[in-house]
Structure 1
Amino acid sequence: MATSIDRLLEEISGVEDPIEELQVLKTALLSIPVSALRDSVSGQRFKVVFSLLNSNHREQVELCVDILDRILMALSPVSLVQNYRSELQAGLAHPSDIVRILALTQIGRIVASPDAVTQLLNNQDTLLQAVIHCIREEKMAVAKQAIKSLSKLSHSKAGLEKLFQSDLLRALKEVMATSDIVRYRIYELVVEISSVSPISLSYCASSSVISQLLEELTGDDVLVRATAIEMVTTLAHSQHGRQYLAQQGIMDKISNMIRGADTDPLSSLYLPGLVKFFGNLAIMDSPQQVCETYPAFQNKVFEMALDPDPAMKGVALDTLGLLGSTVEGKQVLQKTGEKFKKVFARMSQLTGSGATELRVRSLDAISQILTLQPEQQTEDLLALTESWFHLLSNQPMDMICSISSQPFPELHCGALKIFTAIATQPWGQKLMISTPSFMEFVLDRSTGQTKEAKDAKFELVGSLVSSSTAAEILGSQHYIRLKAYLREGPYYVSAVAAVGTEGAE
């Protein structure tokens, strides 16, 4: 096997137009499993293929990339850095983006390997500086791969030191100055690194890049501000990130920005991001604590839910769904009394008319607010969700059934989610059994023919079967049929129905 590959390599190096020979080599390599290929590609025998990348012939370059992708993946990261370091660096400067992506992918393997990265870090920084320069590439795929490789580098303490305590930091800052877009790519990288651990965050904080990002929150450019808020929200996903932001006074700053939004005519560009920030914060920490500490957030969510602007309404719906998905969040919403009842009634109206996307988001939010896990079903909480369900309309079951029968798969699935939310609650089961034809609708496999609809119906059936009160409330006959539905799976088609369909055709 190794002999035949060597022969093919010799043939390639001896011809002027090697397209046909490259194609034969590619076919040969693809016919060998990667595990078996490992012994055949050791050493530096494939340098000739790297040399053929220096061509204006697109097909030749693409064939070389396919071949190199195959053989380099078969090499260990240590062998890569020992034998092909200079070729990978040359690949980063290649005019073709597929060559640059190939080189970055292999460098990513090197920096993710403890043994290989040690050899890389003990040498000069030129290769890693070239990776940093790729972040400013016009092709987003190249920039993303560079960010990914540098992120992997930061997973070791030695890598963090190299990135933030050497000439590489200067290179990062030089690249940042290229444009707003590139600056935010660097922010994306630094936020990703910061999220890994408190140690990673301390290195990033010492670089001053994070403090620069936080300053952008209150900058003059509202579009830059909106992007900064997204980055800061990502940073808040980790507990150590939230602690750092609190120490920097960012929560108070964002709360003040929400308060001041009423007097800013451009606030609609960044206000949704501010609300999303606190919505995520509430779910990760404590809905009660966040809503009590930053009342401007909760007031703004209710205000946005009644706003005529669809973008504002959409974010408010998502946030209310997030808050209402937890028991503590439900209790926070309950404490607002008539304020929430007014908003919930508005959410019900939104499910019935308007843009489909907004109707679906409203249905999703309502289902989250009404959901109670079996262990959460105290008398008080069951009474609360039941009272909210009856706020939807005078005949809420008929209303949701009507939505589920509309010829829009997203709405059909959204309505089924609400039924699933109440399916484990005794009051919900009593409504279902007392609603004419409802159980027939649940057991009818002909309603909703998309995969998503079948999955949503199956989830509803599963919720009913899993409930300890379902057999008693729904009756043994319905319960047995539900268990059979569950046993048969979401995509079951009865043999009789199938024969009948074939006959009709």
Structure 2
Amino acid sequence: MAASIESLLEEISNIEEPIEELQCLKTALLSITLNDLRDFVSGHRFEVIFSLLNSNDREQVELCVDILERILMACSPLQVVQNYKAELQAGLTHPNDTVKILTLTQVGRMAEHSDAAVQILNSQDIIVTVIRSIAADNMTVAKQAIQSLTKLARTETSTSKIISGDMLNVLTEVMTVSDIVRYRVYELVVTIESESQNHEGYYPCGRIIDQLIKELTGDDILIRAAAIEMITLMVQTVRGHKFLMGQLVFNKIAKMMIDANTDPFSSLYLPGFVKFFGTLSFVQGPQRVCEDYPVFRDKVFEMALDTDPTMIGVALDTLGLLGSTVEGKQVLQKTGEKFKSVMVRMSQLASAGATELRVRCLDAISHLLTLQPEHQTEDLLALTESWFLLLSKQPINMIRDISTQPFPELHCAALRVFTAIAAQPWGQRLMVRTPGFTEFILDRSTSKSKEAKDAKFELVGSLLGSSSVAEILGSQNYISLRTYLREGPYHVSAVAAVDTEGAE
């Protein structure tokens, strides 16, 4: 087979219209294993295939791309950069987007190989061209460029070669192409920081981040909505959090949330602002964030009681995030009647409305009610029980009724609520007092899909993980649950066949 490939390469180099031969070469390359191909490519060069990319014949170019993709995959990243650096540079500026994507993919491969990455980073022309590719009309090309640059910027030294000095000037120039491209550059800079924790991150490109912050506080509502997404990514990192705090960004966002009450277009950016503070509460702690920025907590409650599904959905997700920790539960409990009214509203949303919103509501409820064994103090158990009882006069039946509706996602979400309370003694007492509930848990036929079976199995595991379950549910139920757990989520009971002919 290697001899056949070699003869095809020689034949291709001597004819003007090699479409048929390229097709044969592609077939031959695909028929040989990658290991065998590695042995072949190590002793050959393929300039002839690269040269055939310089054609207006689309079919020829695409065949060459397929062939080179196979060949280069058989080469190590170091081999590619050492043998085909000039071809890489040409590929980055090729008029055909598939060639650009092929080349950028190879740059991404080199970024993951330490020696090859050093050589690429020292090739300033290649780095400049990759940066300019961020402005490509083809979104796939732009994304591949961002991904490759992000992979390259894994160390302090490599970052300085991409987003500082002359390269920073190139990035700044690229940003002027359009609003869309400007946000691609923001994405690159923020992603580099979020994935590169061992260097100074934002400081080499502080002026780009300063510009992003100005966009956040500017008058353009749509740009503000886009900017907050980038800022939210930043706050999740230690250096990003420190940088934003130093720029008083948290205070600025809080003030804009207060001013939103008089802004008729606030619905366009408020969900992003709430997500930002929700993320910040996960980083700094719910109590500190809600004390320092009470407008955040108040706005979440206000949105939960809104009629706009977008507002409601973000509020539900944020409440679930806040209530997933003990500190967050305590913060919500301190609001008294305000939070009680929100829980009543969540009960209404879980019972009716669009399926997606109902699922998000049930998931928020399950996060609010979850309490790990080490946190099951008398006060916290009383708190979660009181919240569950706010859902309905018969909350167990309410959630079970939701689980029986013909929507798999609702079924699983309802089971997650039961899983949350199953680990707590009060939840177990409510379950055993509800007629038919233990039979519902043990009945495998109520869960049809794999996801549903897994959710039911997790519920059983949550019950059995509690030290109080045997006493509260009784020995017979305990034994049945242990059997369920031992048999696994996908157990099918054997049904004895009946010999009808013999019976007759």
- The two structures have a TM-score, normalised by structure 1, of 0.94
1:6 aligned residue: 6
Q: State the one-letter code of the partner of 1:381.
A: L
> How far did residue 499 of structure 1 move?
10
Matched residue, 2:39:
39
Q: 2 CA distance for matches of 1:19 and 1:294?
A: 67
Structure 1 range deviating more: 58-67 or 341-350: 58-67
The one-letter amino acid of 2:369's match is L
- TM-aligned CA deviation for residue 498 of structure 1: 10
Partner of 1:339: 338
**CA offset digits 1:65-119 (Å, max 9, x no partner):** 2221122122122211111111112212223322211100101122332212322
> Per-residue deviation at 1:168?
1.9
- SS for the counterpart of 2:495 is helix
Alignment partners' CA distance in 2, 1:235 and 1:452 = 34
Cross-structure match for 2:112? 112
* Counterpart mapping for 1:150-165 below 5 A: 150-165=149-164
The CA RMSD measured in Å over matched residues stands at: 2.0
Q: What SS is found at the alignment partner of 1:201?
A: coil
> 1:499 & 1:258 partners in 2: Cα distance?
70
1:92 paired with 2:79, answer: no
Match of 2:275 in 1: 276
**Partners of 1:77 and 1:116 within 8 A in 2:** yes
Shift in CA distance, 248/410, structure 1 to aligned 2, threshold 3 Å: same
Bigger mean CA deviation after superposition, 410-419 or 191-200: 191-200
1:30-429 to structure 2, matched below 5 A, reads: 30-42=30-42, 45-123=45-123, 125-195=124-194, 196-197=196-197, 199-206=199-206, 208-429=207-428
Secondary structure of residue in 1 paired with 2:240? helix
Structure 2 length normalisation: TM-score?
A: 0.94
Deviation of the 1:487 alpha carbon: 2.6
Q: Counterpart amino acid of 2:241?
A: R
Query: Within 2, Cα distance between the matches of 1:17 and 1:462?
Result: 67
- Whole-angstrom distance in 2 between the partners of 1:329 and 1:265: 31
Contact 1:160-1:200 within 8 A present in 2 as well: no
Distance 2:122 2:58 in 1: 36
Deviations 1:262-308 (A, max 9, x none): 01111110011111000011112211111111111111111111112
Superimposed CA distance per residue, residues 326-368 of structure 1 (whole angstroms, 9 cap, x where no aligned partner): 0000000111111111111111111111222211111110110
CA contact (8 A) 1:351 1:360 kept: yes
The residue type paired with residue 302 of structure 1 is F
Structure 2 contact 30–70 (Cα < 8 Å) conserved: yes
The structure-2 alpha-carbon separation of the partners of 1:157 and 1:43, relative to structure 1 and needing over 3 Å to count, comes to: farther
Contact 1:190–1:204 (CA<8 Å) still a contact in 2? no
Instruction: Report the CA distance shift for 1:157/1:143 in structure 2 as closer, same or farther (over 3 A).
Output: same
In 2, Cα distance between equivalents of 1:484 and 1:18:
68
Q: How far does residue 15 in structure 1 lie from its aligned partner after superposition?
A: 3.6
What number of residue pairs does the alignment pair up? 498
Report the AA paired with residue 394 of structure 1: K
Give the share of equivalent positions with the same residue, in percent: 66
Separation in 1 of the partners of 2:202 and 2:305? 42
Inter-CA distance 200–110: structure 2 relative to 1 (3 Å threshold): farther
User: How far apart, in 2, do the equivalents of 1:127 and 1:169 lie?
Assistant: 15
- CA deviation string 1:229-253 (max 9, x = no partner): 0000000111221111111101111
Task: State how far apart, in whole Å, the 2-side matches of 1:133 and 1:371 are.
Answer: 49
Task: Describe the SS at the equivalent of 1:358.
Answer: helix
Q: Secondary structure at the match of 2:445?
A: coil
Aligned CA distance change for structure 1 residues 335 and 83 (closer, same or farther; 3 Å): same
Does the 8 Å CA contact 1:44/1:84 hold for their aligned counterparts?
no
Secondary structure, counterpart of 1:199 in structure 2: coil
Q: What one-letter code is carried by the residue in structure 1 that aligns with 2:61?
A: V
| 1:458 counterpart residue number | 457
Q: Which residue of 1 aligns with 2:495?
A: 496
Q: Distance in 2 between matches of 1:203 and 1:38?
A: 43
Check conservation: 1:217, 1:229, Cα contact below 8 A. Answer: yes
Q: 1-side partners of 2:498 and 2:459: how far apart?
A: 28
Give unpaired runs (5+ residues) of structure 1: 501-505
Distance 2:496 2:36 in 1: 50
**TM-aligned CA distance change 1:374 to 1:251, over 3 Å:** same
Q: 1:116 is matched by which residue type in structure 2?
A: A
Per-residue deviation, residues 30-84 of structure 1 (Å, max 9, x unmatched): 3333333222112662122222223344443333222211221221222111111
Change (3 A) 1:56 1:470: farther
Q: Please identify, of 60-69 and 411-420, the stretch whose mean Cα deviation from structure 2 is larger.
A: 60-69
Amino acid at match of 1:362: C
Return the offset for 1:23.
3.2
- Aligned AA for 2:302? E
- The answer to whether the 8 Å contact 1:363/1:415 transfers is yes
Letter aligned with residue 197 of structure 2 = S
Q: Separation in 2 of the partners of 1:230 and 1:202?
A: 17
Do the aligned partners of 1:12 and 1:21 also contact (CA within 8 Å) in 2?
Answer: yes
Aligned to 2:502: none
**1:2: Cα distance to partner?**
4.3
The question of whether the paired residues in 1 share the 8 Å contact of 2:469 and 2:478 is answered with: yes
Q: For 1:426-441, what aligned pairs fall within 5 Å after superposition?
A: 426-441=425-440
8 A contact 1:111–1:117 mirrored in 2: yes
Aligned-residue offset at 1:479: 2.2
